């Protein structure tokens, strides 16, 4: 192995370690994310599940005995602990609801299962069999009932549109695609243009600066609409998923969400000159929202203080409002608040990005 080759390898290491920002995003940030998520998910001593309880508590049977053995919480519900330290403890929060409100809560992802009292000795479990969280809650209840007399019960699969897990997933995935499309399509592209000195060359042409920024936005908007349209068409054809509410509300949410993430991407790309650093910043924005904003599972299982913050994240506002239009039939009035907040987010970040944007 030649000495010149070793020198070249050493040059590459020196170039890497001379950029403190690259070191942070390549080494420190992934470790911080891993430790945070590990503490949030791996070290939890128990799993919490919220279960709807409709029709009251049965007077006979082991299910009624299970509820009577639990503790009453501040909201008037019942808390029951099942499992063990060896196998993992599951805390079941039984929440008194009506059958209609139970379906609404399932559509919103707040509960995945509800128990209906049929008679004093018979209950029925209602959930989507494709939902793993609902299956976990059902098995935990059966485990808690074990050892007592057999409870007469039945399982009613939820097939009503809006109560299936796929109905919860598709609207969130659609808006998750919007976030990724604009953060990477605009933010990363602008950073790459600056790194390759293309922005500086464009300034030498008779180009107006605002036209360049607008062209990037418009092109990305049309591409994002095509991507969302393909996913919507696929979901409509194969799963029968389409907006039960206002199509205009869906379009307005899409446009305000696109504007919000355009502003965020422009703010990210305003000063960064290296793609490695840009990737770190974009991931720092997108990854927490991907995990926390209720795209793949409900964020209501997080602690209440964290939920109060999560529900105002841009992706959470967008996904929750879109899901409400799809599965609850929401219209323009119900989506006015998230639309306003997304528009405000876009205005603040877009103007801030323009003010800080550097062409050289």
Q: Where are the domains of the chain?
A: 46-157, 165-356
Backbone angles phi, psi at 212, to 5 degrees: -65, -50
For the chain, the straight-line distance linking the first and the last C-alpha, in angstroms and rounded, comes to: 40
Provide CATH code, domain 46-157: 3.40.190
| pLDDT 10s digits, 308-357 | 889 999 999 999 999 999 988 888 989 999 999 999 999 999 999 989 88
Neighbour tally for 261: CB within 10 Å: 31
Residues in Cβ contact with 101 at an 8 Å cutoff, skipping those fewer than 6 apart: 52
Question: Could you say which DSSP state residue 109 is in?
Answer: T
Confidence of residue 100 (pLDDT cuts 50, 70, 90): confident
For residues 65-88, average pLDDT? 76
Q: Enumerate residues 6+ apart whose C-beta is below 8 A from 359.
A: 194, 199, 200, 202, 203, 209
Question: In whole angstroms, what is the distance from residue 245 CA to residue 205 CA?
Answer: 47
**What's the whole-model pTM score?**
0.77
b/e per residue, 315-344, with b = 16+ CB within 10 A?
A: bbbbbbbbbbbbbeebeeebbeebbebbbe
Residue 106 has pLDDT above 60, yes or no: yes
């Amino acid at each position: 192995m030649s000495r010149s080759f070793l020198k070249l390898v050493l040059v590459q290491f020196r170039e890497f370690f001379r950029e403190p920002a690259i070191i942070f995003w390549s080494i420190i940030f992934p470790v911080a994310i891993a430790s945070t998520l590990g503490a949030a998910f791996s070290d939890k001593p128990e799993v919490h599940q919220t279960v709807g309880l409709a029709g009251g508590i049965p007077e006979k049977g082991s299910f009624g005995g299970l509820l009577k053995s639990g503790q009453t919480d501040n909201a008037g519900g019942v808390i029951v602990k099942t499992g063990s330290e060896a196998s993992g403890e599951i805390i079941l929060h039984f929440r008194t609801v009506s059958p209609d409100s139970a379906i609404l809560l399932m559509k919103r992802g707040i509960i995945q299962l509800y128990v209906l009292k049929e008679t004093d000795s018979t209950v029925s479990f209602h959930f989507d069999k494709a939902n793993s969280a609902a299956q976990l809650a059902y098995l935990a209840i059966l485990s808690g009932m074990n050892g007592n007399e057999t409870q007469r019960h039945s399982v009613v699969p939820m097939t009503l549109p809006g109560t299936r897990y796929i109905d919860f997933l598709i609207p969130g995935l659609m808006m998750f695609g919007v976030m990724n499309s604009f953060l990477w399509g605009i933010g990363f592209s602008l950073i790459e243009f600056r790194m390759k000195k293309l922005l500086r060359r464009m300034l030498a042409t008779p180009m107006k600066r605002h036209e360049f920024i607008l062209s990037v936005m418009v092109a990305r908007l049309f591409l994002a609409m095509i991507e969302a349209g393909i996913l919507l068409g696929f979901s409509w054809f194969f799963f029968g998923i389409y907006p039960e509410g206002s199509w205009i509300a869906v379009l307005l949410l899409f446009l305000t969400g696109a504007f919000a993430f355009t502003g965020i991407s422009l703010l990210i790309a305003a000063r960064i000159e290296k793609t490695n650093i840009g990737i770190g910043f974009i991931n720092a924005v997108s990854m927490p929202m991907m995990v926390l904003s209720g795209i793949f599972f409900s964020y209501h299982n997080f602690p209440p203080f964290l939920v109060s913050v999560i529900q105002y994240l841009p992706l959470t506002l967008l996904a929750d409002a879109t899901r409400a239009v799809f599965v609850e039939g929401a219209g323009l009035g119900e989506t006015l608040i998230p639309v306003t907040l997304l528009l405000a987010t876009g205005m603040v970040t877009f103007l801030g990005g323009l003010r800080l944007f550097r062409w050289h």
